[in-house]
Amino acid sequence: MVLVYDGPIDVESLLSRWYTAEHNSNYGAMVTFVGTVREENGIEALSFDIYRPLLEKWFKGWKDRLEKEGALLAMAHSEGDVPVHTSSFACAIFSPKRRVALEMLDAFVEDFKANAPIWKYDVIDGKRIYAAERSTPMAGSGLLAKG
Amino acid sequence: MVKVEFLGPIGKSPIEVEASTLAELAEILKKDPEVAVWLEQSAVAVNDRMVESLEVKLDSGDRVSLLPPVCGG
């Protein structure tokens, strides 16, 4: 299950929790990625909407794929406003040896950017502006424009 | 009736329409200028399953979701 935070992720406690839960499970590698909001273009925060039913399906697909490699996947994401210099996304992959975790992390984050049902907004002067130019149409987009 | 929900930045309340296929629903949505501008860039799910064909049949009580371009992280 994806851990959804209302606002910024408490990174310190989350990473500690993930480590504590699995360090006795005989995984030789724990690889983490944490995404932190950068101060740029005058934003005070990023803001996110999530469609949870499809996020869970997408995540389960990845979890199952990693399980076949003997690896374990964990993920957290924020909903609502996340101020600059706080974090909105975190994931961890545990694997018996480092190679699987390092390679799968890159593939997972790339697909996350393209196909996880999450929408991003810049927050400027308290207003939420959809980050249209940084967003990617999901696979199969445009179906209803056909015909 | 089929329920249509508009996710993320589309920012429109759900509607209920009569349509027996996705092709029929597409014709209805094209007539709504507020929605039409999003169709080219939106993916479609029926009852939380992603679909890629206009031939998909719709039954009363089905829920269709429009998913505009995404950007997590």
Confidence band of B59 (pLDDT split at 50, 70, 90): very high
Give the nearest partner residue to B73 out of A53, A54, A113, using CB atoms: A113
Distance from CA of B1 to the nearest CA of A (A): 18
- Chain B contacts to A (CB-CB under 8 A): 7-9, 22-23, 25-27, 29-30, 39-45, 48, 50-54, 65-73
Residue A90 has pLDDT above 90, yes or no: yes
Q: pLDDT tens, A27-44? A: 999 999 999 999 999 999
Q: pLDDT tens, A96-134? A: 999 999 999 999 999 999 999 999 999 999 999 999 999
Nearest residue on chain B to A78, alpha-carbon basis: B73
Rounded Cα distance, B7 and B4, in Å: 10
Q: Do B48 and A53 touch (CB under 8 A)?
A: yes
A130 touches B at CB < 8 Å:
yes
Q: What is the domain partition of chain B in residue ranges?
A: 2-67
pLDDT score of A146: 86
Distance spanning both ends of chain A, measured CA to CA: 38
- Residue B16: CA atoms inside 13 Å, Cβ hemisphere, count? 5
pLDDT score of B23: 96
pLDDT score of B49: 95
Topology, domain A3-132: Aldehyde Oxidoreductase; domain 3 (3.90.1170)
Nearest residue on chain A to B22, alpha-carbon basis: A144
Q: What is the domain partition of chain A in residue ranges?
A: 3-132
pTM above 0.90, yes or no: yes
Residue A147 has pLDDT above 80, yes or no: no
Q: pLDDT tens, B14-48? A: 999 999 999 999 999 999 999 999 999 999 999 99
Give the nearest partner residue to A134 out of B8, B26, B71, using CB atoms: B71
Residue A13 has pLDDT above 90, yes or no: yes
Q: pLDDT tens, A109-118? A: 999 999 999 9
CA nearest to A88, candidates A16, A19, A21, A2:
A2
Best of A32, A143, A146 to mutate (most B CBs within 10 Å, chain B): A143
> Which segments of A23-145 does DSSP mark as H helices, in order?
52-67, 98-115
Nearest residue on chain B to A53, alpha-carbon basis: B48
Four-way CATH pick for B2-67: 3.40.640.10, 3.10.20.30, 3.40.190.10, 3.30.70.270 = 3.10.20.30
Give the nearest partner residue to A117 out of B27, B54, B67, using CB atoms: B67
CA distances for A114 relative to A7, A58, A110, A117, B43, angstroms: 22, 11, 7, 9, 12
